[in-house]
Amino acid sequence: MPNSTQNPAPDALLQLVQPNQFVGWLGTADYTRALVLTSDVWKTRAKGVPHNCFLLAAADGGTAVEEIMLLRVSGSAEVPADAELQVKLDKLKSRAPAGGGGQTVEEFQFGLLQCRVLGTFYLQDGKLRLGSDVENFAQAAGLAVYRPEGAALAAIVNYISPSRAAAAEEEARRLGLKGELPRFPIGTVRYSSTDRLHRGAGAERAVFHLNAVDFLARRTAVFGMTRTGKSNTVKKLVSVVKHTSDDFKLRIGQIIYDLNGEYANANQQDQGSIAEVFPADTIRYRMVPTTGFELILNNFFQQISEGHSTLRGLLEASKLPRSADLEAFLSMDFVPPNKEDCSSDYEFQRQTSLFQLKLAAYQAVLARAGYELPPGFKITFEVNPGIRNKINPSVDPANGLTASQAYEWFYLVRQIQDELITTSGASWIEPDTNVLINLLLQKNDQGGYIPGFRLLQPFKDYHAPNRSTDVCDEIYNHLAAGKIVILDLSVGDPVQRERLGKRIARHIFRSSMATFNRGQYPPHVVVYVEEAHNIIGRNEPLTEIWPTIAKEGAKARIAVVYATQEVSTIHPNILANTENIIVSHLNNHNEISELAKYYDFGDFAESMIRAQDVGFARVKTLSNPFVIPVQIDKFDPEKEKLRVTGGK
Ligand SMILES: Nc1ncnc2c1ncn2[C@@H]1O[C@H](COP(=O)(O)OP(=O)(O)O)[C@@H](O)[C@H]1O
Ligand SMILES: [Mg+2]
């Protein structure tokens, strides 16, 4: 048998050959398929040959191997009808591998394995390369076949092409790291549900890594039925990305759209949560006030446009009858006047004071509807003395008004509105301001009753009176600082949840694109979307934020990881742009056939339907030209905590 320790300079290729793992001889091969002759004795010695396992076919007994074929067992095979081939196989039966075993042919139970040809390993400039086909199979018959495990298997499943490695190095240099980008260990190779032999005592497991270069700024899908380990996979990813980025001093912001509240809280099912493991680096948000959580919501008195657009969304969704005033309220905006757009300084000042008045009227409406004013906040705006004295000489709004003072002041404005318009030229009260006064006083232009501010009352809980910055800015800053942000969306209104989810995603994307467009590198951000079918619609137009991130996220350095049980609910453009796919058990052929369109998932169709083992996943990454079956590590909060505190 070839023995790598006798080889003076064991090369990367030769190291793949593990003589103890000999399982048989290659009978025939062509470009796509191969037939392997094996025996029960050889199989047992190699700790089994499970369905879908990798095999390597190499010249036997040599110290210099030029190339090695990579195969995957796709099933067993009948003895071929071809007489010539039968003779060849019979000859192989009596051939013992170099230096191997003393059994006689009679003791062997022979059998044939059907394999798929995955590619060829060879050396170029001393580096291991994997071609995704075979160049020449004429010499293939008679090659020794091994089932790689441990280090050799790890080399196969973690193979990264020289060009991808170069890209990883370049990105690392940009980020100021030495060497390559890191890799994230997420599990170990597992071929079949029954894993007594190939992962049992004495078997060397192979750790599978997700390359940062494959993962960062890319799309990763996590598919599988409920309770087959999708959330566990996401948790594992979050924690391994966090640990690795800490070790490498590489900042990666992570944000989780947590629809079930399982990342923010310890729940009964799974002891421990991401928030508990990384208390110093995790910020939790919710739509309703809760201790230990920041409010996702905005302060409507300060983030005026944000607040107004939230109200617009809620009002539109509530399907109230549309009065003229409500229509006008919905189509308003609160964009301050721009100096460049004004013909003179005087005009700019005039527009600014009109805008201030409109803002004040809006704030008065909110206050009247019961929206709590922020602590110490008063409705404040300047009014020129001539007009002010006409309205109420004893009140100057520049000193700030309380909610009731503002109401009274606008009430007085309305009494003399006609007079004010004629004395000050036609435009002291703009149409929008007029509408807002209507809403405040519950009277339309004809003097008839309207519900006015009452329409806004049901949405009071969306206003966060104690917040001083836009929640989106705040979240983005956390991400840029490499923190973990958990959006606990398990409580609150589903419509608002989807809207908010989009708004935050849009903000992250726009902020990062703006950095990119300035010629700088945006921070690395990973967005995890749990139960993605609730957040990312299949029928969304391409211009919507999620398909946009999927298409252009790479420039903005935004990675998206989405988890769902339904492959078919995912937007086709997002699926087509997904570089990494992790699938556990699926229970129906439609979903499987959707997936079988991609790469070689078809090879695993049967096993994905049959094997329901939790965390047993088939993984296709950008770097790997084929699917790798992996048992995802369990996210173990206790172990993780020890790592964070340095206890190990
Ligand atoms: N790789 C794994 N190894 C061991 N247990 C796991 C693994 N993945 C998940 N589990 C356990 O299985 C249960 C369901 O996992 P979960 O990740 O919540 O599934 P899903 O999100 O697909 O519904 C949880 O109790 C979890 O701890
Ligand atoms: Mg889940």
Q: Is the CB of 228 under 6 A from ligand 1?
A: yes
Cross-strand partners of 37 = 25, 112
- Spatial distance between the Cα atoms of 50 and 194, rounded to a whole number of angstroms: 9
Domain spans of the chain? 4-148, 183-296+470-644, 304-462
Q: Is the CB of 38 under 6 A from ligand 1?
A: no
Range ranked top by mean pLDDT from 77-86, 146-155, 638-647: 146-155
Which residues make up the environment of ion ligand 2, defined by Cβ < 5 Å?
A: 230-231
Q: Does domain 4-148 have CATH number 1.10.1330?
A: no
Name the token pair of 489: 């969306």
DSSP string, 185-213: EEEEE--SS--TTTTSTTPPP-EEEEEHH
- Average pLDDT on 240-264 reads 92
**pLDDT above 80 (res 424):** no
pLDDT-derived band at 2, boundaries 50, 70, 90: very low
pLDDT digits (tens, 9 = 90+) for 438-491: 999 999 999 999 999 999 999 998 898 988 888 999 999 999 999 999 999 988
Q: Is the CB of 227 under 6 A from ligand 1?
A: yes
Instruction: Quote the ligand 2 centre to 483 CA distance (angstroms).
Output: 22
Helix H or strand E segment including 217: none
Instruction: Quote the ligand 2 centre to 494 CA distance (angstroms).
Output: 18
Instruction: Quote the ligand 1 centre to 202 CA distance (angstroms).
Output: 26
Instruction: Quote the ligand 1 centre to 227 CA distance (angstroms).
Output: 6
Q: Is the CB of 51 under 6 A from ligand 1?
A: no
> What pTM does this model have?
0.85
433 residue type, one letter:
T
Ligand nearest to the CA of 232: 1
In 461-515 the beta strands, taken as DSSP E runs, fall at 484-488
- pLDDT attached to residue 6: 42
Closest ligand 1 atom, residue 584 Cα: 22
Closest ligand 1 atom, residue 530 Cα: 21
Q: Is the CB of 272 under 6 A from ligand 1?
A: no
Q: Is the CB of 613 under 6 A from ligand 1?
A: no
The answer to whether the beta carbons of residues 256 and 622 sit under 8 Å apart is no
Instruction: Quote the ligand 2 centre to 246 CA distance (angstroms).
Output: 26
- Spatial distance between the Cα atoms of 252 and 215, rounded to a whole number of angstroms: 12
Instruction: Quote the ligand 2 centre to 530 CA distance (angstroms).
Output: 7
Instruction: Quote the ligand 2 centre to 261 CA distance (angstroms).
Output: 10
- Probe target for ligand 1 pocket from 233, 262, 566, 614, with the most ligand atoms within 8 Å of CB: 614
The radius of gyration of the chain's CA atoms, rounded to the nearest angstrom, is 33
- Spatial distance between the Cα atoms of 266 and 283, rounded to a whole number of angstroms: 15
pLDDT digits (tens, 9 = 90+) for 387-403: 999 999 999 999 999 99
Nearest CA-CA partner of 182 in 153, 157, 214, 159: 214
Helix locations, 416-493, DSSP H: 417-423, 431-441, 471-480
What is the fold, at CATH topology level, of the domain defined by 183-296+470-644?
Rossmann fold (3.40.50)
Residue recorded with tokens 């010695």: 45
Ligand nearest to the CA of 187: 1
